[in-house]
A and B are shown apart, each in its own frame.
Chain A
């Protein structure tokens, strides 16, 4: 009990610091794209957005000048993900000029039909990443099954990861556990254990969070599962693509864009495109943060590189 109070205080203080740091950048960022009137409700996180496009092309071949996000999907980077080191991915890109990604999890990992394959988010992601890293060979192995709960996926994920030996796992997780009312503690434990194992074996993990639907905006279970994904990503220092926030943000600000299909029932192609772009943005931004710190050694080292902006 005492321990958790201490932890809570620590969380609070770091959140406050982050808020102070992020507040100004977030505002600058938002006003620069004309969205400053939109209230930012989510817990503030360090932003890395504005500097992204002015950086030189780094030694790793990461070309941050290449725009990752199209106009209709663009939103402040802070809404998408919190930066965290992707050391294996960086090393692999620098050393071998190749990157193998295992995309696994639920729902929109589906790559349907030969003619429609390019619409699925992993294929779109592959395209974007190969554009950003021109001489890097990106392979994405798609092992998506829609509607699995994390416990089922975790077992499959570990054995597939051992077979495929990816440098990076993109794990879309949470929606179905929330909807199936899986116990939050069980969910969190599964997630933590699996992420742990992957990290132990030099595989970077990116968690892709829950889908946003207006219907579940206030669903307690949905919120709890989202919090759990957030907790795990923070505790394990892994990249977490906040799909929910990103989608919610777009829904709030660009309601006319038909992000959801006409029947509001599933993401249309634009939805997948945005998701791929958001994940790509998060990956590229992360690698860039790391590179920039190496290029500019005079900057004081900080535990959260982006927070220093």
Chain B
């Protein structure tokens, strides 16, 4: 990711001029579309997203790019973030994310309730961890507000919120002691893998689907390599070598999928989370696969944009990526709509194509409206 243009995923809702597509926004848009499709279980096109070609998936990419963007924002001259302003700005962002999470959760519950009434099917009330709300609303609404009750597939924003609450501390640590940030983050990740600690969920007994103690390492890694200083500069100087290693990792990831191989959780040595493929704890295999992907595809966007055929594709994904929070929220609800549509309709590839087509069209509309609105 050699590009130095500012990504806009974190940009405040100020008046934005029309911007050129950039690499970060492109990949972010790409991750958003993958997430939208991955969240409709059983759909034909689920088999086409890149998680089927390797060990990691769009969640790793999304969080990595969030860290990447944070770096640009925190060092932006235009923003001039003093310590106080930094805290205000990032905590306000965390609050926006929190508001978004509550909003989409409530709308999702309403959609399930409406679906259950319309189709006269109580089973819909059990989808995606919604049952607790309908069965025991008193404790569950507390859990929803406290983020300890997360609907299935609505569990990545809580992670992002926790990371954003911690973001000013990450930035400050990086400002004061830049060489300490990554080792500390790494140590916390390893400690989490060894101790198997995770945040609890409540009132439904369980644990967070995305463990923030582990996933912070993905976020911080994106933050650290975003600029050509420190590790970021080392990475850029050795990009060719890294790309070769990346290609090997990507090939290895592809092989595990082709041969349907994964480490056996019961026979791997202790600490076993170090050796298995586990999404909740962002285990090393998933993390390395993400780094491999990043190294392999870094700069690919700029090269591809030289081809006329690719430009509309690049511009399309970048449009989505620039408006990532809006698109993410819309995408979460559209995934749920897709699940419900597939429940209601006769299932065929045509239905699935329609679900995906309508979904992506709506995502595009949301992104376009959001930019159009800010240009008014």
Contacts and interface: CB of A to CB of B under 8 A. Distances in A.
Interface residues of B, number: 44
A276 B121 CA distance: 23
Contact of B206 (A114, A145, A215): A145
Interface string A184-226: 0010000000000100110000000001010110000100000
B134 A112 contact: no
Interface in B184-213: 196, 203-207
A197 B339 CA distance: 30
Contacts of B273: 159
Contacts of A110: 131-132, 135, 204
Interface residues of A, number: 48
Given A161-B265, A180-B42, A112 B123 contact: no
A236 interface: no
Contacts of B134: 265-266
Contacts of A215: 120-121, 123
A190 to B, nearest CB: 11
A225 to B, nearest CB: 11
B31 interface: no
A147 B130 contact: yes
Given A112-B203, A159-B276, A213-B123, A183 B130 contact: no
B41 A180 contact: yes
Nearest to B41: A149
Contacts of B120: 215
Interface string A40-57: 000000000000000000
A176 B122 contact: no
Interface string A160-185: 01110000000000011101111100
B152 A162 contact: no
A266 to B, nearest CB: 5
A182 B46 CA distance: 11
Interface string A98-142: 000000001110111110100000000000000000000000001
B196 A147 contact: no
Interface centre among A106, A114, A180, A260 (most CB of B within 10 A): A180
Given A149-B42, A152-B41, A180-B343, A213 B131 contact: no
A114 B125 CA distance: 22
Contacts of A147: 126-131, 152
Contacts of B216: none
Interface in B131-149: 131-132, 134-136, 138-140
Contact of B122 (A106, A158, A159, A266): A266
A175 B123 CA distance: 8
B307 interface: no
Contacts of B125: 265-266
Contacts of A248: none
Contact of B131 (A107, A151, A179, A186): A107
A182 B41 CA distance: 7
B236 interface: no
B57 to A, nearest CB: 12
B347 A181 contact: yes
Nearest to B202: A113
A155 interface: yes
Interface of B: 41-42, 116, 120-132, 134-136, 138-140, 152, 196, 203-207, 264-267, 272-273, 276, 278-281, 339, 342-343, 347
9 contacts: A111-B204, A112-B132, A113-B138, A142-B206, A146-B129, A161-B266, A197-B265, A197-B266, A264-B122
